[in-house]
Structure 1
């Protein structure tokens, strides 16, 4: 449906006068009448009752009115968003929940302090979903612990971070309930070697903060960022299990039109790694 027809319908319903609607729309009165007839033909119903100096909406027109207002409002919002995208570079960054919570949120805070007008979109999803979005050009930058082995992608090592086995009590115990936190597929292999007797997790999650909070409830243990020992005094590092060092990569398409901005942002280091 031609949105100009809806626009004309709304103006006539507002002014209740074809002549005044024509003046407001910078059209002739015959053009306004023609548009209304077109709309009525498309919908198969009369929208106005026409009497001299007394134009009223029909029941069909009354029902159309809120939909027309909604459609035109949505169109105006869409135009504004498109205009904004032309004025500013909107960069989409994706990572798993655990990386956002442990390292990337403070990094974004630093970026916005440095660049108050920066516009970003932060996406939280599983790694395989984010890699697909990257290929489909629905994502500009992926932060991940595993380097994708694909020729069309550019990977940059941001550094390494340390994970430690935490519990909420200082006493060393060989057996505690275990919470399995998502740190990458290859980490699970390493994780299995560290746990005794093929211990099954009481919970599997992608959220580092959910894991931290449930340690208090369950008295369990989990691998969390090493620097959280200073941030959360109720957490204790289990010294019998050595820390695990993990790489952190930035990944983007080789021919991305956002490469310049990506490289600029990556000059700001991610804190609390090693």
Structure 2
């Protein structure tokens, strides 16, 4: 027996999946919260499955909800691609959402997609910067189409492709007059510096004094101003930054950069184009060494 999903119920589901808030989604539809809940309940009843986990103040997609979201996105992509093709428009259009950690988004993702974006101005690519620990949930919740992360999502239905490595080095103010006993991190939960020192120094677990700078560009600025030492990717460094490798730390930690996305039976043309551009061009952006630094690599 054929099951047909009512479009108004699916519309409500999509808004709830994107906002993760029934109240906000109801406002966008200009209906009451009660009427909105009825649409979601009706859809869940038809599918005989819960689509959302409901907590006190938040909602999250269930596994079935995640599958429905992917299905709806695929259908929408196919429809748009068909209409553009029938209309004779061979340019790519639509919207693609990408999230990445701070040292990759501006310096790797944007350059990798520059040629594609200029060639297809009707294609809209939204970039989002997130902390490493946030990226997995952003992708699993369906808030973006791709993430670039260093931590692989080991879950059925998702693909993970290695697009290159960051070479991370320890730097300090060029004249050596900075606070050498302080180390710079993103926030309290960031243990990247400790792991770098542990690996570089052969297992040393010395306690370090830390200062937090929110993102990689804050770390670069703070190191330049002498607020401490920071572990940063080589591809972000330039000769005018006033930084140098810390003496005795001429080795770089190579960390993987992974492009991750949900598996689809069919990828609409905009998603295929963005995926292929990232696969083909991220590696070059990651290999940039403007300061011509000489170092050896460890993993």
Does TM, normalized by the shorter one, top 0.5? Answer: yes
Q: Distance in 2 between matches of 1:216 and 1:186?
A: 21
- Report the alpha carbon displacement of residue 231 of structure 1 after superposing the two structures with TM: 4.7
Aligned length: 189
Structure 1 counterpart of 2:212, from 203, 210, 225: 203
2:108 alignment partner, SS class: helix
Question: 1:214 corresponds to which residue?
Answer: 222
Shift in alpha-carbon separation, 1:231–1:262, aligned structure 2, 3 A:
same
What is the aligned partner in structure 2 of residue 236 from structure 1?
Answer: 244
SS of equivalent residue, structure 1 residue 269 = helix
CA-to-partner distance for each residue in 1:20-76, whole Å, 9 max, x for gaps? xxxxxxxxxxxxxxxxxxxxxxxxxxxxxxxxxxxxxxxxxxxxxxxxxxxxxxxxx
For structure 2, the 5+ residue unaligned runs are 1-75, 85-92, 288-299
Contact persistence 1:166–1:221 (CA under 8 A): yes
**Structure 2 residue matching 1:122: 3-state secondary structure:** strand
1:191 aligns with 2:204: no
> Displacement, 1:191?
2.4
Q: How does 1:98-247 map to 2 (within 5 A)?
A: 98-171=103-176, 175-181=180-186, 187=192, 190-193=195-198, 194=200, 197-205=206-214, 207-241=215-249, 242-247=251-256
CA separation of 1:134 and 1:173: change in aligned 2, threshold 3 A: closer
Indicate if the aligned counterparts of 2:165 and 2:286 stay in contact, CA closer than 8 A.
Answer: yes
In structure 2, the partner of 1:41 is none
TM-superposed CA distance for 1:236, in Å, is 0.9
- The residue aligned with 1:20 is none
CA contact (8 A) 1:134 1:140 kept: yes
Counterpart position of 2:70: none
Show structure 1 runs of 5+ residues with no match.
1-81
Partners of 1:150 and 1:217 in 2: how far apart? 42
Q: Is the 8 A contact 1:167 1:237 kept in 2?
A: yes
Distance 1:272 1:116, change over 3 A: same
Q: Which residue of 2 aligns with 1:18?
A: none
Give TM-score scaled by structure 1 length. Answer: 0.58
Q: 1:248 aligns with which of 257, 261, 276?
A: 257
